[in-house]
Amino acid sequence: MNAIPPFHLAIPVHDLSAARSFYGTVLGFPEGRSSEQWIDWNCYGHQLVTHLQPEYEGHKDYNAVDGHAIPIPHFGVVLSPTDWQSLSAKLTAAGITFLIEPYTRFAGQPGEQSTMFFLDPSGNALEFKAFADRNQLFAT
């Protein structure tokens, strides 16, 4: 079996309505089951669940990587270059403020990748990336 099993990730959000607008409308993730306390999202075939935590304040830490302040923790999906470009354009058109603007790291080297970082309305840090050659995902 070559298919990658879907991951499940549950994250806190301070407002489910804002999460529904961001994940459902801005990112375009299909909504699954929900209650007054949580919403399931289809995040590129993975199960992302936003759980209501009204006092949640988002990430607070950063780590220096390649001259950038990388938010810790963060999560995201490795997309195809075409899907990454499409998402980048969609986020730019929606007026999303990037923590790290879309750019390409390691150009012409093993592990060349495009990446971007931004926050959801609750301060959860997201990174979406695409590899020029997905076989280089773990290149050293």
- Within 8-102, residue ranges assigned H as helices are 16-19, 81-93
Is 90 inside any structural domain? yes
Whether residue 77 sits in one domain with residue 30:
no
Token pair of 55, please? 């006092």
Q: Is residue 87 located within the same domain as residue 123?
A: yes
Does residue 117 sit within a domain? yes
* Residue type at 15 in one-letter notation: D
The domain that contains 29 carries what CATH number? 3.30.720.120
Compute how many other C-beta atoms are within 10 angstroms of the C-beta atom of residue 21.
13
pLDDT 10s digits, 91-122: 999 999 999 999 999 888 888 999 999 999 99
Amino acid present at 115: T
> Which tokens hold the place of 99?
């923590």
Q: Strand runs (DSSP E) across the chain, as ranges?
A: 8-13, 31-34, 38-43, 46-52, 61-65, 68-72, 74-75, 78-79, 98-105, 113-119, 125-131
Q: Report if residue 97 sits inside a domain.
A: yes
pTM for this one?
Answer: 0.92
Alpha-carbon gap, residue 108 to 121, rounded angstroms: 35
Helix (H, G, I), strand (E, B) or coil at 17: helix
Exposed, middle or buried by CB within 10 Å (0-12, 13-18, 19+), for 23?
Answer: buried
- Tell which wins on pLDDT, 2 or 78: 78
Taking 60 as the threshold, does the pLDDT of residue 1 lie above it?
A: no
What's the structural domain count of the chain? 2
- The whole domain housing 105 covers 61-136
Residues 82 and 123 in one domain: yes
